[in-house]
């Protein structure tokens, strides 16, 4: 009984700040400018297919890169001693103490044509070397204002959300299971493939959720690192609420569709996880 | 005008939660006033001056642009006594009945406002607004990176500057520039003209001339020599010039946009009289001068212009001649269907 009462503040909080806004989004999405019921907000959405496609595509790439970078790091960390782990976890968390916009803004100065990286390359003579070898005439690498820079910004900002859950799960794996596998004659690769990786899948799946979802809806990164050259979902939704046309109804409809698509992605992925390895997600 | 420091916004939102209680009544016997302004658009020192002189607590907040201001006000739940919208937004707020009429007997300093700013197009009866700052939009360029002087918008569409041009990242300003270059009005409601202007911008983007669409990121990029040419506000150019003396500013010969940001009181403000006192305070010569020197925009107050260093008041960037000003247009509010058309054309450009 006591435990039940303890959860009341949280339930109230969720009701007011999560459930109620979601219901508002739902209502707004089916409301016309004049206040009546409409589905027009959805029927006009075909023009945004490219925007949806691009956002999901870039978020997918960022998530994949995060897995490729994050899994080995988490795996390695989980096998290290306590001191090293504390230090590494600290280093992963440290940048997150700073505001995410500030960090993204710094990446702008790093990637610019006259930015930190290109200046460094120039100072160490990289461009002179390339030019003399290939007979080219380059003065800088074009990195800023590209879709690659957008993916980089996402990976940089969301990588900790991939590393930490995987690390936690691998860390919790009962070492006796691994010993048993070894006793039964599995070599290192087999132990990893047949034991550790399947057992770490729940961590990977929640890592994917925590990276993919914010990456799909991100809006400051495309503007700062992508130079505002293309519209992504986050920008599109923001423009409905903060733009000159001020259409919160259409904005809500787009948000709703985005949420549904994300939910479908997650459901498919969870099904895949369960079917394959019996992993439980979230 | 719009130094978007979104970070500041976030800080402000948090500090809203944390403040709001605990101020002793005896320090501020005359209540409070809630002010919403643009980021970096005031000399921060004048706020404590006002608090001390009038015994009124100032709750000072900033927001990034007129559209955010509009959705803040129309969303309800906010309580501001003084806001500083731009011309076209003022006309929209007036037409939607969202502003209070001002009691000018509480604003004696209003008499100092230059006659050319009285009864403007956005507030024809002059009952709702007191001009705060004004300025022009033009081309900022790096003299070491372009050939000769730039005098026309055509530079923005010149292939020799491929990858060197920064455009303003909002539909009204960016499409407006193209409209002006084509010889149309900023305030046209002819969709075919707006479409033609957007086509020009799409061509400009496809030719690789645009480096990026930016708002306040332009400060870093122009100061650091990352781009040769940008479109932005005269007042911000003066700030950039302090960090990069190679920069120059021009109002193109085809004409441009000149904006006025004016102080208004939203409908239902709970401290209207304190708001008027604040507006009056902002119109005093000393405060106006401090603000001007701090932010680099131009004051509509005659005594402030006289009090400023002649190097500033004689600077054609800050105080352009009447001929230049005559070639410039103010934004007025456009009908809803045109605003929507702007948004969908903008999406066509950026898809």
Q: What is the signed CA dihedral for A238, B207, B339, A248, rounded to 10 degrees?
A: -20
Residues 6+ apart with CB under 8 A from B212: A144, A145, A227, A228, A229, B166, B167, B221, B227
Domains, chain B, with CATH or none: 6-134+260-322 (3.40.190.10), 135-257+329-350 (3.40.190.10)
Q: Which residues pair with B213 in a beta bridge?
A: B167
Q: Give me the percent of chain A exceeding a pLDDT of 90.
A: 74
| Cα–Cα dist B220/A227, whole Å | 13
- Whether residue A45 lies within 8 A of chain B, CB to CB, comes out as no
**CB A245 to CB B71 under 8 A?**
no
- CA A54, CA A221: separation in Å to the nearest integer? 14
Is the pLDDT confidence value at B135 over 50? Answer: yes
Give the pLDDT score at B3: 53
| pLDDT score at A278 | 43
> Hey, where are the domains in chain A?
47-277
pLDDT band (50, 70, 90) for residue B12: low
Residue B232's contacts (CB-CB under 8 Å, 6 or more residues apart) are B137, B138, B140, B166, B168, B218, B222
The C-alpha atoms of residue A79 and residue A99 are separated, in whole angstroms, by 31
Enclosing H/E stretch for B7:
helix B6-18
Residue of B10, B63, B67, B85 to mutate for A, most A C-beta atoms under 10 A: B67
pLDDT in tens, B43-85: 999 999 999 999 999 999 998 888 889 988 988 778 999 999 9
Among all chains, which residue has been given the structure tokens 């006659």? B115
SS (H, E, C) A231-259: CCHHHHHHHHHHCCCCCHHHHHHHHHHHH
Q: What is the mean pLDDT of chain B?
A: 90
Which of A29, A79, A34 has its CA nearest to residue A250?
Answer: A29
pLDDT score for B7: 52
Structure tokens at B60: 């000072």
**Spatial contact of B214 and B166, defined as CB atoms under 8 Å apart:** yes
- Are A243 and A235 in contact by the 8 Å Cβ rule? The answer is no
Contact A229, B210 (CB under 8 A): yes
Name the average pLDDT for chain A.
90
CB < 8 Å to A228, chain B = 169, 212-214, 350
- Following DSSP, what letter does each residue of B106-156 receive, concatenated? G-GGGGGB-GGGSS-GGGTT--S-EEEEEEEEEEEEETTTSSS---SGGGG
**What does residue B21 show for φ and ψ, rounded to 5 degrees?**
-140, 160
Name the minimum distance, in Å, from the CA of B232 to any CA of chain A: 16
pLDDT of residue B18: 52
Beta bridge partners of B260: B134
| Closest by Cα among B38, B11, B35, B91 to B233 | B38
CB distance B342–A245 less than 8 Å?
Answer: yes
Q: How far apart are CA B231 and CA B40, in angstroms?
A: 19
- Average pLDDT on A58-71 reads 97
User: What angle, 0 to 180 degrees and rounded to 10, lies between the N-to-C axes of helices B191-206 and B336-350?
Assistant: 20
> Tokens 């900033």 belong to which residue?
B62
CATH fold of A47-277, please?
Answer: MetI-like fold (1.10.3720)
State whether B226 and A114 contact (CB < 8 Å): yes
Which one, of B322, B351, B269, B260, lies nearest residue B103 by Cα?
B269
Flag whether pLDDT at B1 surpasses 50: no
User: Percent of chain B at pLDDT above 70?
Assistant: 93
Flag whether residue A243 sits within 8 Å of chain B, measured between CB atoms. Answer: yes
Interface test with B, best of A245, A249, A250, A251 (most B CBs within 10 A): A245
How many other CB atoms sit within 10 Å of the CB of residue B121?
A: 15
Distances (CA, A) of B231 to B167, B210, B212, B217, B259: 6, 11, 11, 12, 14
pLDDT band at A282 (very low <50, low <70, confident <90, very high): very low
Confidence of residue B300 (pLDDT cuts 50, 70, 90): very high
């Amino acid at each position: 009984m006591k435990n039940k009462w303890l959860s009341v503040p949280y339930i109230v909080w969720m009701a007011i700040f999560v459930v109620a806004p979601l219901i508002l989004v739902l209502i707004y999405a089916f409301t016309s400018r004049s206040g009546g019921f409409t589905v027009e907000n959805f029927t006009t959405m075909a023009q945004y297919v490219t925007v949806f496609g691009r956002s999901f595509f870039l978020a997918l790439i960022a998530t994949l890169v995060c897995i490729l970078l994050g899994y080995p790091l988490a795996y390695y960390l989980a096998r290290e001693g306590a001191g090293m782990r504390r230090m590494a976890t600290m280093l992963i968390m440290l940048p997150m103490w700073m505001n995410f916009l500030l960090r993204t803004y710094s990446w702008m100065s790093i990637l610019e044509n006259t930015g930190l990286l290109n200046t460094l390359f120039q100072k160490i003579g990289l461009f002179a070397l390339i030019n003399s070898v290939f007979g080219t005439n380059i003065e800088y690498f074009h990195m800023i204002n590209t879709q690659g820079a957008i993916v980089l910004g996402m990976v940089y900002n969301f990588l900790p959300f991939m590393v930490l859950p995987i690390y936690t799960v691998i860390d919790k794996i009962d070492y006796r299971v691994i010993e048993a596998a070894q006793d039964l004659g599995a070599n290192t690769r087999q132990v990893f493939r047949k034991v550790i990786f399947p057992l770490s899948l729940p961590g990977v799946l929640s890592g994917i959720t925590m990276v993919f979802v914010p990456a799909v809806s991100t809006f400051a990164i495309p503007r700062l690192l992508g130079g505002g050259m293309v519209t992504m979902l986050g920008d599109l939704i923001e423009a409905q609420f903060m733009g000159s046309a001020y259409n919160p109804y259409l904005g809500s409809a787009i948000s709703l569709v985005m949420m549904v698509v994300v939910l479908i992605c997650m459901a498919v992925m969870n099904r895949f996880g369960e079917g394959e390895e019996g992993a439980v997600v979230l | 005008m719009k130094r978007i420091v979104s970070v500041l916004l976030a800080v402000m939102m948090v500090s809203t939660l944390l403040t709001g209680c605990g101020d002793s009544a005896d320090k501020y016997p005359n209540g409070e006033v809630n002010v919403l302004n643009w980021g970096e658009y005031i000399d921060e020192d004048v706020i404590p001056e006002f608090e001390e002189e009038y015994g009124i607590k100032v709750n000072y907040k900033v927001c990034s642009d007129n559209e955010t201001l509009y959705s803040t006000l129309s969303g309800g739940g906010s309580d501001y006594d003084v806001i500083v919208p731009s011309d076209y937004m003022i006309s929209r707020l007036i037409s939607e009945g969202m502003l209070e009429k001002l009691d000018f007997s509480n604003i004696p300093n209003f008499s100092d406002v230059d006659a050319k700013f009285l009864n403007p197009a956005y507030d024809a009866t002059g009952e709702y607004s007191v001009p705060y700052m004004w300025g022009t939009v033009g081309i900022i360029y790096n003299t070491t990176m372009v050939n000769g002087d730039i005098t026309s918008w055509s530079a923005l569409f010149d292939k020799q500057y491929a990858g060197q041009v920064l455009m303003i990242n909002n539909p009204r300003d960016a499409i407006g520039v193209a409209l002006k270059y084509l010889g149309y009005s900023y305030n046209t409601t002819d969709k075919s003209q707006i479409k033609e202007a957007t086509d020009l911008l799409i061509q400009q983007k496809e030719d690789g001339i645009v480096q990026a669409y930016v708002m306040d990121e332009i400060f870093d990029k122009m100061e650091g020599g990352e781009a040769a040419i940008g479109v932005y506000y005269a007042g911000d150019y003066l700030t950039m010039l302090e960090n990069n003396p190679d920069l120059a500013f021009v109002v193109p010969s085809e004409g441009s946009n000149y904006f006025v940001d004016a102080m208004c009181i939203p409908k239902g403000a709970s401290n209207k009289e304190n708001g008027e006192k604040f507006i009056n305070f902002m119109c005093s010569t000393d405060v106006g001068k401090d603000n001007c020197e701090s932010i680099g925009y131009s004051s509509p107050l005659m005594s402030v212009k006289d009090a400023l260093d002649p190097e500033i008041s004689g600077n054609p960037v800050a105080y352009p001649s009447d001929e230049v000003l005559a070639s410039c247009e103010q934004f007025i509010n456009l009908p809803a269907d045109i605003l929507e058309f702007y948004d969908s054309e903008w999406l066509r450009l950026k898809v």
